Structure 1
């Protein structure tokens, strides 16, 4: 199985090219035209993000987004005019954002080298995964700061404990404030909240199936732990993550533990060079898993990986997964 940026904690290996996949269901939040150029009221603005304190004298003018969910937050806030580079898609950009995305230079299919990144002359670099700021590759936040470049890392990767809707609000609010478009952030958050609450209301009285998230893995299972937004998505959609006690965003677990916990549903994350069907077949072909209820009953549900990270697709993910777990409540 190929690796992915957030899986670098699992193994030190090169990250493969990713194949564009279909976006998850639902509609994107509201977006508007790019923010006005120049300084804005409320500046200078100081914010501490993942242990790094930055003071902005004015909104960034030349942003680079290093992962898809970072890119889509900027696009959802109407900031394509201030985005000079993007990199590393997990799957297809949301259709509503595609025209804006197509106007932005793609610096690399994966992460750009330090030279390519600096060549874009950014004043702000936004990473969705901690691997975006790889010190060994010369892209660490301290090094960027020495070059006069501010940076931001998604709070999903520096939050102590569980990540949920509070962190989503923080992420959108602080990015919107940094770019002097706080009202757009407020509208985007309100739209996400409204859609999520609608799903939660539909499934609140339904039995909550035990869900095993299968990201990848052969010798062991790489799964969603209790600290990431993926765990919150399962809960909001009316399920229970069987590895919610794993104190990490993602982690490896032995297959014996999967068997012991008897999941009723397998949620497959769709991304990369291994298809959903191949992942299903790997599970179905393992005789040790034959009596696991989800495998025995072949109850599989699917989310694109881009929907299972802290970004503008959280409501999409809750809507899609809620419909798959509880089709009678859709």
Structure 2
């Protein structure tokens, strides 16, 4: 996975990462209070008894997005669903987990990019799915699942060998698409709420979608409450390192989702609005309060990367090195563009401010 990611990064400046991605009366003329209340209660009971908890009238039109092959500009493109899709290909693990959270596991026919920290709440159901690859999958593999919907991260909608096909090419074959709003330029964590809402409409599971949105908002509010007393807004820089001895600074300045979620824990990207790679010399000059490194879930371990950074004489004068402020975050929590990023931010908040979470 790391090798594939770095190849894509070098060739397309994170094209496979973001957008690559990431901007409803009655009564007499003088009713008594009692008669009015009774009438209202009766009407409400009648409505509840005759109206299903979840109703969708098809066709359903969902605002969504497309971009040209190899492009970076996303344009609006509606998707019209005459019925709920029955065969979904999810292009990443977090995309599949989102569908599982809404009770749609029986409709998932394939999952690409099987890496990253699992969502424990749906881990058992996820293990039953058809995993297509641990890496990104191409259009041929995607079409081999015979999907009627390709769902997931925006940067992977391309005809490249790591992409599931462009939106237009898939739609041209009669396959619907849903590009996560959180994963295109301008996307934020709040975009996830819109994505969940849209999935609720597409599959007629509005009640589940609304409940899940509220669960996530409650968790986000809990983090904010815990950190309310922290007045300092620290700066951070992300080191995208797969070799402990090679310092690779990724600015991630145009990664709107990435930059937004770290604000949950009062961290501001020192290179927000800067694109591409940054030199080590510039990193030293910037001197951020915190360094964020990826947790690949395999080798190299975060401990190996931290050890190498703390021992790097060139970086010895930096605040983050001297104060031991290096923190590891799972790759999918940063670049999965899904709801489970809240898991990563909760863990990071606990690492940074353990006393507030005792």
Q: TM-score, normalised by structure 1?
A: 0.82
Instruction: Tell me how far 1:208 sits from its aligned partner.
Output: 2.9
Structure 2 equivalent of residue 319 of structure 1: 346
- Show structure 2 runs of 5+ residues with no match: 14-53, 66-75
The equivalent residue for 1:289 is: 315
Change (3 A) 1:153 1:41: closer
Deviations 1:186-235 (A, max 9, x none): 11111111111111122122133322222227364124436432222221
Does the Cα contact within 8 Å between 1:134 and 1:140 map onto a contact in 2?
A: yes
1:164 alignment partner in structure 2 = 188
CA distance in 1, matches of 2:57, 2:227: 42
Q: Aligned pair in 2 of structure 1 residues 235, 316: CA closer, same or farther (>3 Å)?
A: same
Q: Deviations over 1:139-164 (max 9, x none)?
A: 2222211211111222233234xx32
**Distance (whole Å) between structure 1 residues aligned to residue 180 and residue 234 of structure 2:** 30
Matches within 5 A, 1:246-257: 246=274, 251-257=276-282
Q: Does 2:58 correspond to 1:43?
A: yes
Shift of 1:5: 4.4
One of 202, 209, 221 as aligned partner of 2:249: 221
Quick one: which of 115, 124, 134 aligns to 1:99? 124
Counterparts of 2:256 and 2:308, CA distance in 1 = 25
Q: Tell me: higher relative CO, structure 1 or 2? Use CA pairs within 8 A at least 6 residues apart.
A: 1
Partner of 2:260: 232
Aligned to 1:181: 205
Moved more, 286-295 or 205-214: 205-214
Larger Rg computed on CA atoms: 2
Structure 1 distance, partners of 2:92, 2:6, is 11
1:276 aligned to 302, 310, 313, which one? 302
Query: Is contact 2:238-2:249 (8 Å) kept?
Result: no
* Compared CA separation, residues 296 and 11, structure 1 to 2 (3 A): farther
Could you tell me whether the CA contact under 8 Å between 1:40 and 1:58 is conserved in 2?
no
**Is this contact kept in 1: 2:239–2:247, CA < 8 A?**
no
Q: Distance in 1 between matches of 2:273 and 2:212?
A: 31
1 CA distance for matches of 2:294 and 2:315? Answer: 19
Superposed CA RMSD: 2.6
Residue 316 of structure 1: how far off its partner (Å): 1.4
Partner of 2:139: 114
- Distance across 2 between alignment mates of 1:7 and 1:189: 35
Instruction: Measure, in 2, the Cα distance between the counterparts of 1:238 and 1:113.
Output: 38
Q: TM-score, normalised by structure 2?
A: 0.76
SS, match of residue 10 in structure 1: helix
The 5-angstrom pairing of residues 29-178 of structure 1 reads 41-50=56-65, 51-130=76-155, 132-137=156-161, 139-160=165-186, 163-178=187-202
Partner of 1:302: 328
Q: What is the number of equivalent residue pairs in this alignment?
A: 299
- 1:56 and 1:275 map into 2 onto residues whose CA distance is 44
Distance (Å, rounded) in 1 between the aligned partners of 2:9 and 2:117: 25
Deviation of 1:278 (Å): 3.1
CA separation in 2, counterparts of 1:205 and 1:244? 25
Residues 110, 132 of structure 2: 8 Å contact kept? yes
> Using a 3 Å threshold, how does the CA distance of structure 1 residues 65 and 185 change in structure 2: closer, same or farther?
same
Q: Is the contact between residue 95 and residue 151 of structure 2 (CA under 8 Å) also seen in structure 1? A: yes
Question: Within 2, Cα distance between the matches of 1:7 and 1:43?
Answer: 42
Does the CA contact (< 8 Å) of 1:173 and 1:186 recur in 2?
Answer: yes
Contact kept in structure 2, 1:216 and 1:223, CA below 8 Å: no
SS in 2 for 1:201: helix
